[in-house]
Amino acid sequence: MSFLKSISVAALMASPTTVLADWNGWYGGVTAGSVSSPEFEITSGDGADVDLEDTTSLGAFFGRVTQTNNTVFGFEIEVTNMPDMTGTFDVFSVEHSAVTLDLKARVGYAFGQVLPYAVLGVTSYDFENDLITEDFEQAGLSFGVGVDFLVTDNLFIGAEYLARRAEGTVEIIGENLEITHESSIDSLSVRAGFKF
């Protein structure tokens, strides 16, 4: 065996090995976080921008991922409560209906016990208002990044940033009037979950 080959073998034997965690399967958990600088806007007519109050968030999630070597991909459903997100502009005020539904596709790359990932999905929620009787129902895209850390074989903790961009249209019956509206809601949350 040559000298260089001997050195290579010795280096490989001395190198620490990282055990790749098993992320496969169903999971569920809870989230808690904050919502900063949310905005609501009426985009039809003269328009109106409403800066909404910051708030906290509490939620629950459920999903499944499949792992192929280091690549981890799957889906997740999250329901989040965001209370007291209100704003006022001259002639009207709006208030978030508190419950947000997100359906997310996830893809990540596992480094041992650590799983950084990206998400892309759809989101929906409502705004109540004092201008008309109908709610401002909105739907759109959600996207973000996160990281999970497997504490035990089944328990994990993590953090996620999620941006929501949604819009909608409401018709005023009897007045032949259509109001278009949109919003942006960004949240940063910590997560704790359990693999089944």
pLDDT digits (tens, 9 = 90+) for 94-119: 999 899 999 999 999 999 999 999 99
Whether residue 195 contacts residue 154, with contact meaning beta carbons closer than 8 Å, is answered with: yes
Confidence of residue 2 (pLDDT cuts 50, 70, 90): low
Confidence of residue 175 (pLDDT cuts 50, 70, 90): low
CA separation for the pair 143, 162 (Å, rounded): 6
165-168: list long-range contacts, CB under 8 Å, 24+ apart: 165/140, 165/141, 166/123, 166/124, 166/125, 166/138, 166/139, 166/140, 166/141, 167/43, 167/138, 167/139, 167/140, 168/136, 168/137, 168/138, 168/139
Per-residue pLDDT, 57: 96
Per-residue pLDDT, 4: 38
From 34, 41, 38, 39, select the one nearest 80 (Cα to Cα): 34
Burial of 36 per CB tally in 10 Å (0-12, 13-18, 19+): exposed
Tens-place pLDDT, residues 7-53: 344 434 433 445 789 999 999 999 999 999 999 999 998 888 999 99
Would you list the domain boundaries of the chain? 19-195
What the block records as the tokens of 75 is: 């889906």
Per-residue pLDDT, 176: 72
Chain centroid to CA 188:
8
CA separation for the pair 60, 81 (Å, rounded): 9
Per-residue pLDDT, 11: 38
CATH of range 19-195; options 3.20.20.60, 3.30.70.920, 2.40.160.20, 3.40.50.150? 2.40.160.20
Contacts of 99 (CB under 8 A, 6+ apart): 79, 80, 81, 82, 125
